[in-house]
């Protein structure tokens, strides 16, 4: 992908300290973009500190559930750059659930995965409406499209993100703003490993390690491997760029052919 597609443009990426968010931040900076990475992690990750030395990356420690703090950050970005060309909503959690997760888990999962996407997405859309351009890419999941046993909260939040994506795309197309969703399949990140034993353990039985479970999952993927964060980031950059200028309201599965 040509660097000129992103050079000097301005992007906001949530969940930018790890996993898919981090991979997206790194790729955008490498392509010459100005990137504002948002994450709840207090200390800027070492991988981002190295990138920040080039002057194109700013790290913001923020809880995406806070409207006031996110609004403040977007105001600062617009004062500095005059625009926001794209927003990537990658912040999310996938907790240990089981069949009957409690109300506390419900609140935390919906707060981050749905409320966080709502807050940052609407902050970005408000600015994009003013400027008459922009692209929002929400990170969903293949579980946005099907049910997943022992993962009812995560699955339902990702269905909600799909609904936001489709509705925002219809509402903001007239302003020249596009909204799409990338739906990763099994991807080797710390977040995807966290519920392995709860979700996949009962399915495959025995006392298998995380690596053994991941190996079983990989064998069920037509392309024969788990996804990598960069695989997902590649799709995100496509949807942010002008190469996808006639695409909105769409869901792009990046799953190696995996069907949940």
Q: What CATH number has the domain bearing residue 69? A: 3.40.50.720
Q: Please give the positions annotated as active site.
A: 154
- How would you class 207 by CB atoms within 10 Å of its CB: exposed for 0-12, middle for 13-18, buried for 19 or more? exposed
pLDDT in the model for residue 200 = 63
Stretch 59-88: mean pLDDT: 97
Within a domain: residue 205?
no
In a domain, 168, yes or no: yes
Mean pLDDT along residues 189-215: 72
Is the confidence at residue 73, as pLDDT, over 90? yes
**pTM of the predicted protein model:** 0.92
Residue 205 reports pLDDT greater than 80:
no
Decide if pLDDT at 117 tops 80: yes
Give the pLDDT mean for 231-238: 98
The residue range of the domain holding 102 is 3-190+230-253
Q: How many domains does the chain have?
A: 1
* pLDDT at position 31: 95
In a domain, 216, yes or no: no
| Residue 209 forms part of a structural domain | no
Quote the pLDDT of residue 3.
64
215 in a structural domain: no
């Amino acid at each position: 992908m040509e660097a000129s597609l992103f050079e000097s443009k301005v992007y906001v990426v949530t969940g930018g300290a790890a996993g898919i968010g981090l991979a997206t931040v790194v790729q955008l900076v490498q392509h010459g973009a100005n990137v504002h990475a948002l994450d709840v992690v207090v200390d800027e990750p070492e991988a981002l500190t190295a990138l920040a030395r080039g002057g194109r990356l700013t790290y913001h420690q923020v809880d995406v559930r806070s409207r006031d703090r996110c609004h403040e950050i977007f105001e600062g970005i617009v004062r500095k750059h005059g625009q926001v060309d794209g927003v990537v909503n990658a912040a999310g959690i996938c907790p240990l659930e089981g069949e009957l997760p409690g109300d506390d888990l419900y609140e935390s999962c919906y707060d981050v995965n749905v409320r966080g996407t709502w807050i940052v997405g609407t902050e970005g859309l408000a600015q994009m409406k003013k400027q008459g351009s922009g692209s929002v890419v929400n990170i969903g999941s293949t579980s946005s499209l099907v049910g997943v046993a022992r993962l009812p909260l995560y699955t339902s939040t990702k269905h909600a993100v799909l609904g936001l994506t489709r509705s925002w795309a219809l509402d903001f197309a007239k302003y020249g703003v596009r909204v799409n969703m990338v739906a990763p399949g099994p991807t080797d990140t710390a977040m995807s490993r966290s519920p392995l034993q709860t979700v996949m353990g009962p399915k495959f039985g025995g006392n298998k390690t995380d690596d053994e479970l991941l190996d079983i999952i990989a064998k069920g993927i037509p392309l024969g491997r788990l996804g990598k964060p960069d695989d997902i980031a590649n799709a995100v950059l496509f949807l942010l760029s002008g190469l996808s200028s006639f695409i909105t309201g769409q869901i792009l599965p990046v799953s190696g052919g995996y069907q949940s």
